[in-house]
């Protein structure tokens, strides 16, 4: 009688290649560069926030001043008027408020932006650490 040959087990190289590829994509996304925020700015803390780097965010300082990419902005409506020419129909505004900014001022600014034509107003905060 002839003994059947035992097949050698192959290593799962396809699975290993998939894992390496996924790690490559992860590090490419995680390593995306963004402009640094104003060093005087202290972000609001929240928990369980999906982190998105704010490259084009409207910064609201503690005293209510607005700035965009380091330059002063007169008001939320003026900011949107400049953005409408570039963006088109659906304008999403990212706000980066200072931690010391009063909540009423933030609510007033978001309402002003919505009235001026912003489709969405996103408030960017710092992730809470536990």
CATH number for the domain spanning 111: value is 3.30.420
pTM (2 d.p.)? 0.54
Q: Is residue 67 part of a domain?
A: yes
Determine the number of helices (DSSP H) and then strands (DSSP E) in the chain.
Answer: 3, 7
Work out the pLDDT band at 22, boundaries 50, 70, 90: very high
Q: How sure is the predictor about 48, in pLDDT bands with cuts at 50, 70 and 90?
A: low
The pLDDT value given to residue 89: 66
What is the predicted pLDDT for the residue at 21? 92
Q: Taking residues 27-37, what's their average pLDDT?
A: 69
SS3 108: helix
Question: pLDDT at position 20, please?
Answer: 92
Q: Does any domain span residue 122?
A: yes
Distance CA 44, CA 98 (A): 7
Q: What's the burial of 93, exposed, middle or buried (CB within 10 Å: 0-12/13-18/19+)? A: buried
Provide the domain limits for residue 105.
Answer: 45-127
């Amino acid at each position: 009688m002839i003994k059947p040959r035992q097949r050698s087990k192959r290593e799962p190289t396809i699975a290993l290649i998939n894992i390496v590829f996924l790690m490559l994509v992860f590090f490419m996304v995680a390593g995306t560069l963004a402009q640094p925020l104003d060093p005087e700015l202290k972000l609001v803390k929240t928990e369980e926030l999906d982190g998105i780097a704010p490259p084009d965010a409207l910064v609201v300082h503690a005293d209510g001043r607005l700035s965009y990419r380091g330059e002063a902005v007169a008001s939320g409506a003026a900011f949107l008027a400049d953005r409408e020419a570039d963006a088109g129909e659906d304008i999403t505004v990212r706000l980066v408020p200072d931690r010391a900014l009063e909540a009423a001022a933030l609510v007033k600014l978001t309402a002003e932006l919505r009235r001026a034509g912003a489709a969405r107003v996103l408030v960017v905060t710092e992730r809470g650490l536990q």
